[in-house]
Structure formats: structure tokens, C-alpha cells
């Protein structure tokens, strides 16, 4: 049976055929190409970084790209995952709670993604079972092959049709050999068979061990895992070698010989000072050109377009390397032992630091060990403090002690989600005379529950069901600090992930005490941004949102940029100037911070 006849039979499902691949309307074989990244040896090596970097380089050339992450766990989304186990939960504008790698794609590609770009085993199996209940398999016994793998291929093709992408970048979570992702790997093997030669490029991301007692790199674990990948029917076209130091020629030769991959396509993806250096490393190694040739789409490359985008990106890298003004930012949270729990905050701080030429050093504080007695000593050298998002009771007292200290000592403060709620509680207790004010999440018997679930939220049942998720509009108070940060904007759009709010019953009393709610929901009594007056504090801003989720290297998030600028002023750098123009208008607020610093 030739390719065209095969494809025409794929969507049929009966006792007469073993093929099952539902094809979305408008899908044409060979119209879209696929780059698939597999992990070997161990997880956490940076499949998302490699995939997004390669996608970025090809996008620079004019190729339309769309990423998708395939995750093996049975959860429908990442909303209930513990940050200690899986890193931060990244929230998309459409409300999907997903893997942190989707944040890497958004930042690297400078484009928003949607729930179509994230797929878990839970989603796949739900689709299969729902279809089975509706009689969608025409009486067939439903099996992993072809029905479950067919749904995986369908998700990839649906993304291709919806985005009209020239190239889909598929990242498969976990490593080769994991039970939970075996059917994803099988689906890719089938996809390559159905789409035909030159339609799928397989990339194996592996790890080169370098035992300290040996003093040399060893490739045996990588060889064995490549063998497992090839045994699954996946023959890599490109091998990316993660390593502490550049992969040696000897190691690369061994992997090339073992896998039949040419040496020029065995790429050293060694540790470097910033993930944003990886795109240029790929260009230098010629991996982008090799992929275009393998997929037969070299004619889509626009050299002039690439050079202009490359120049802008390299300008960011040059400014990153030129940062010189040291500033120390303290992050007070619950999950500080795992940096991936705050991946987007780390990136947003880097973007803002580069914008102001600041060499930011992050210092992590476990909020459970901070107290009223030791907070002054612990924070005495800090130039700014962030209290990030979180849930639950643990570490609350430490956060409150930290916020009180920075407020009273005029140290720049940025509170994110839970950080806004803690700031409200601290202010209510220590300024507004509401002793033992609290949150019903922490204490249901608090005499002043300034933080509570709003009545309309309480009506929504189910764990996670009453979360306020995704992008929402925020109406800003004119001439407020936050309005100036966004260039005088009247409304902005931020992403949220929270269940508790400032109780409207206490707004008037809090404002009478001097707290300013400068950002509000346009349709609900939800306080979304707070600040202290310029005259009383150089920079004290809290938001119920997660602005770190929308920060980009070439477009730093305004709240973070304003915060870093204020921290620089607190460190003694009173005239820090931006190193680039800011699309979102952060420069409109710079005069305020310089004037405040000079006045002090």
C-alpha cells in the first residue's frame, strides 16, 4: 500500500483494519514537520531548554514553530503537583496549569502558548475513555496500540492544524525506559512511519558523566541509553550532550560511532552562564542548518531576517555579560531548597537586572527559620526582598517578620500572590491596629480575617476548582507607582493563580491606615495590586498576580524592573540607567525612583 492510500485508511476503525489515526480536518500529510526531543540517562537535563533554543533559532529564520510538552503523569494538569517534586507550576494565559518548560518556551520564543501546547497522560487517557463510552471505536477492543498512540498523534496533528506551524517541536517528558512515556515514544515511531521520510527529526538529549575520582568524561551511560532508544524504533538524527564541561572529541566520536549519527550532529550542550547562550551555541555548531536539511525545508530560511533577530538577541547577551553593579535580592519562601520552584522569578530577575546593568545575586531564606528576633541580622545586607507565592501555614510567621522589617526599614519589597496577602496581614496587625489579623487559610477563627475566599469563589466546588487562574484585566489607579511602572497605562493584563482574596469588608480600614490598592478587578471586588505611598517607602508593591510568568529577556516585566531599580538605589547606585528601550514603558517610572533615592 503506498503512502497516500495508507493515510486515507488511517482514520477508519473497524475489524477490517489495524490502523487507527483520527485526522483533524484540514490536515495534510507532509505539510508540517516534527522535531522530537527525547531524554536519556536522567531527567532534568534541559530538554525544554534545548528544544526551545532550537525552535528560537529556526523561528529567527522565518520558520513558524509551535512547541508541545508530552508529560507521562496521569494528572490532567500540573495544578496539584508539589513544587519540591516537579518545580514551579507555570500558568498560561488561558488558565492551564502546566509544566515549567512551557515558561521556557514562552520566554525563548517570545510568544504565548495555550493549553494545546501541553499534554499529559491524564488528558490522553481521558480522551480515549470518553470516546469509548460514546462508541467511538465501533465495537473494537480499545488498546494501547493503535488507539492510545493514535490519540497522541492526533494531539500533535491538531496542534499543527490550529497553529498552521511549519514545524512542531515535541518534548517528551522523562527518560527513555520510563514506563509512563513508552507509548509516547511508540507514537512518535508510528508518526514517522505515517508521515513519510524527511518528516520527523529525532533528537536524543543525553548526559556525559564526569566522575571526580577519574578526572575524565565517560560516555557508557549515554551509549546504553541510546541503545534503549534505538531498540524502541527511534534512530536519532541529532545527539545533544549535556555535560559540566564541553564534551570531548573522544566522547563525541564514540557516540557518533555507536548511533550512526555524523560527528557534526553530535552537539556539546555543556554548562554555561545563562540558558540564553544556547541558541548561539546551536548556530555555531550548525545544528539549525542540519535540521533544515534533514527535513527538507531549507528554502524557508530567510538569512536577512535571521541576521536582524540574531543581532537583537546578541545585544541582550552582550548586556548580560556587561552587568557590573552588584545588588543582593533576598527571596523568602517555603520551597527555597529547590530553585526550580521559583524558576520564573529567577528568570524575571535576570531580565530586569540586565536591563539596568545590575549583577544580581539571589540569596534564599527559608521562611520557617526567620523570626522577629533574627530577621534584622539575616537581612542586614539585603538590598531588596521578594516574598513569592505559596500555600498553607508553614513559614507564615517568618514571612510576616520579614515584611515588617523591610517595611519599617524602607527596603524595597515585591510581594507576589501570597506575598500580597502576607503584606496585607502584616499591615493590618502592625499599622491598622487589627491584632491577630489573618487569613482563613491559616486560621479560621481569626478575629480579623482580612484574607478570605470571596463568596462567589466559595460556590465553586472541588479541589483546584475554586482557583482563579489565567490572564485577567487589572484596572490601575492613575499616577500610582504601578501605573507609572506600566507607562501610565489604565489597564494591564496579568496572570493569576490563587484562591484567597483581600476581604472587601476591610478595604476601607486598610486604606484609612495608609495602604493603597492601586490595581483592582474591573468586574469583581478583588484587590489585585497594593503599594505604599512614595513619601513613606521607596518601593513597596504587592500583587495578587504572578508577573514573573510574563517576563521576557527582551521585554522585562515592569514590576520586576522597577523593583531591581529600587534595590540598586538602596545599594547606593543612584543613577542606574536602562541599557535598552522598554516596550512596556518602564522608563516612565525611573524618574520617580531616582528622585526618591536622592531625597533619602
CA distance 599 to 410: 13
- Does residue 590 have an active-site annotation? no
CA distance 231 to 540: 57
Instruction: Spot the catalytic one: 546, 565, 570, 592.
Output: 546
In this structure, what DSSP letter does residue 247 have?
Answer: P
Locate 163 and state its grid cell.
Answer: 497553529
CA distances from 315 to 39, 111, 308, 398, 563 (A): 31, 19, 11, 40, 23
Q: Which residues contact 342 (CB under 8 A, 6 or more apart)?
A: 88, 331, 333, 335, 336, 388
- Using DSSP's 3-state secondary structure scheme, residue 296 falls into coil
CB 72 within 8 A of CB 182: no
Task: Please state, as a whole number, how many other Cβ atoms lie within 10 Å of the Cβ of residue 129.
Answer: 11
Grid cell 541509553 in the structure block, residue: 225
Task: Please state, as a whole number, how many other Cβ atoms lie within 10 Å of the Cβ of residue 100.
Answer: 20
- Does residue 417 have an active-site annotation? yes
Beginning with the edge strand found earlier in the chain, give each strand of the sheet holding 238-243 in spatial order: 118-120, 65-71, 167-172, 33-39, 200-207, 238-243, 266-270
CA distance 334 to 136: 46
Instruction: Spot the catalytic one: 417, 426, 441, 557.
Output: 417
Grid cell 514603558 in the structure block, residue: 585
- Does residue 546 have an active-site annotation? yes
Instruction: Spot the catalytic one: 195, 441, 501, 548.
Output: 548
Taking the CA atoms of residue 397, residue 401, residue 403 and residue 409 in that order, the dihedral angle to the nearest 10 degrees is: 180
Kindly list the catalytic residues.
417, 546, 548
Amino acid at each position: 500500500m503506498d503512502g497516500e492510500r495508507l493515510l486515507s485508511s488511517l482514520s477508519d476503525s473497524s475489524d477490517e483494519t489495524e490502523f487507527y489515526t483520527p485526522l483533524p480536518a484540514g490536515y495534510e500529510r507532509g505539510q508540517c514537520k516534527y522535531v522530537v526531543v527525547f531524554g536519556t540517562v536522567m531527567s532534568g537535563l534541559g530538554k525544554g531548554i534545548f528544544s526551545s533554543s532550537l525552535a528560537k533559532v529556526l523561528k529567527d529564520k522565518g520558520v513558524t514553530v509551535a512547541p508541545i510538552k508530552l508529560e507521562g503523569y496521569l494528572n490532567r494538569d500540573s495544578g496539584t503537583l508539589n513544587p519540591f517534586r516537579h518545580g514551579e507550576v507555570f500558568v498560561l494565559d488561558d488558565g492551564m496549569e502546566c509544566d515549567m518548560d512551557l515558561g521556557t518556551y514562552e520566554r525563548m520564543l517570545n510568544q504565548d502558548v495555550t493549553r494545546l501546547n501541553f499534554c499529559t497522560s491524564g488528558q490522553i487517557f481521558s480522551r480515549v475513555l470518553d470516546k469509548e463510552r460514546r462508541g467511538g471505536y465501533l465495537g473494537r477492543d480499545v488498546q494501547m496500540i493503535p488507539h492510545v498512540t493514535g490519540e497522541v498523534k492526533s494531539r500533535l496533528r491538531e496542534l499543527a492544524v490550529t497553529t498552521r506551524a511549519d514545524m512542531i517541536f515535541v518534548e517528551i517528558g522523562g527518560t527513555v525506559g520510563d514506563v509512563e512515556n513508552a507509548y509516547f515514544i511508540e507514537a512518535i515511531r508510528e508518526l514517522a512511519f505515517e508521515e513519510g521520510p524527511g518528516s520527523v527529526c529525532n533528537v536524543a538529549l543525553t548526559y556525559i558523566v564526569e566522575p571526580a575520582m577519574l578526572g575524565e568524561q565517560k560516555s557508557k551511560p549515554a551509549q546504553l541509553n541510546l541503545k534503549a532508544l534505538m531498540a524502541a524504533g527511534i534512530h536519532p538524527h541529532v545527539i545533544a550532550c549535556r555535560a559540566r564541561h564541553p564534551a570531548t572529541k573522544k566522547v563525541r566520536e564514540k557516540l557518533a560511532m555507536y548511533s550512526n549519527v555524523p560527528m557534526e550532529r553530535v552537539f556539546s550542550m555543556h554548562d554555561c552562564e545563562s540558558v540564553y547562550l544556547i541558541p548561539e551555541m546551536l548556530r555555531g555548531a550548525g545544528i539549525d542548518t542540519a535540521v533544515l536539511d534533514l527535513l527538507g525545508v531549507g528554502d524557508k530560511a530567510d538569512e536577512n531576517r535571521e541576521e536582524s533577530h540574531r543581532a537583537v538577541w546578541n545585544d541582550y547577551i552582550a548586556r548580560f555579560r556587561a552587568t557590573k553593579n552588584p545588588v543582593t535580592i533576598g527571596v523568602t519562601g517555603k520551597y527555597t531548597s529547590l530553585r526550580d520552584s521559583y524558576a520564573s522569578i529567577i528568570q524575571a530577575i535576570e531580565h530586569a537586572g540586565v536591563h539596568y546593568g545590575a549583577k544580581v545575586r539571589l540569596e534564599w531564606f527559608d521562611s520557617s527559620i526567620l523570626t522577629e528576633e533574627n530577621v534584622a541580622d539575616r537581612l542586614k545586607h539585603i538590598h531588596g526582598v521578594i516574598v513569592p507565592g505559596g500555600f498553607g501555614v508553614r513559614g507564615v510567621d517568618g514571612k510576616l517578620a520579614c515584611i515588617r522589617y523591610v517595611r519599617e526599614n524602607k527596603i524595597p519589597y515585591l510581594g507576589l500572590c501570597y506575598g500580597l496577602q502576607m503584606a496585607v496581614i502584616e499591615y493590618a496587625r502592625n499599622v491598622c491596629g487589627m491584632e491577630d489579623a489573618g487569613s482563613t487559610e491559616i486560621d479560621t477563627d481569626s478575629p480579623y480575617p482580612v484574607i478570605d475566599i470571596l463568596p462567589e469563589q466559595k460556590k465553586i466546588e472541588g479541589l483546584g476548582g475554586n482557583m482563579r487562574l489565567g490572564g485577567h484585566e487589572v484596572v490601575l489607579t492613575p499616577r500610582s507607582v504601578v501605573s507609572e511602572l506600566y507607562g501610565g497605562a489604565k489597564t494591564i493584563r496579568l496572570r493569576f493563580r490563587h484562591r484567597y482574596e483581600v476581604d472587601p469588608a476591610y478595604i476601607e480600614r486598610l486604606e484609612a491606615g495608609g495602604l493603597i490598592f492601586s490595581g483592582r478587578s474591573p468586574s469583581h471586588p478583588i484587590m489585585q495590586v497594593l503599594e505604599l505611598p512614595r513619601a513613606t517607602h521607596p518601593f513597596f508593591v504587592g500583587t495578587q498576580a504572578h508577573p514573573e510568568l510574563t517576563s521576557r529577556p527582551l521585554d522585562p516585566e515592569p514590576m520586576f524592573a522597577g523593583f531591581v531599580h529600587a534595590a540598586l538605589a538602596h545599594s547606593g547606585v543612584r543613577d542606574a540607567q536602562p541599557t535598552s528601550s522598554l516596550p512596556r514603558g518602564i522608563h516612565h517610572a525611573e524618574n520617580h525612583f531616582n528622585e526618591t533615592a536622592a531625597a533619602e
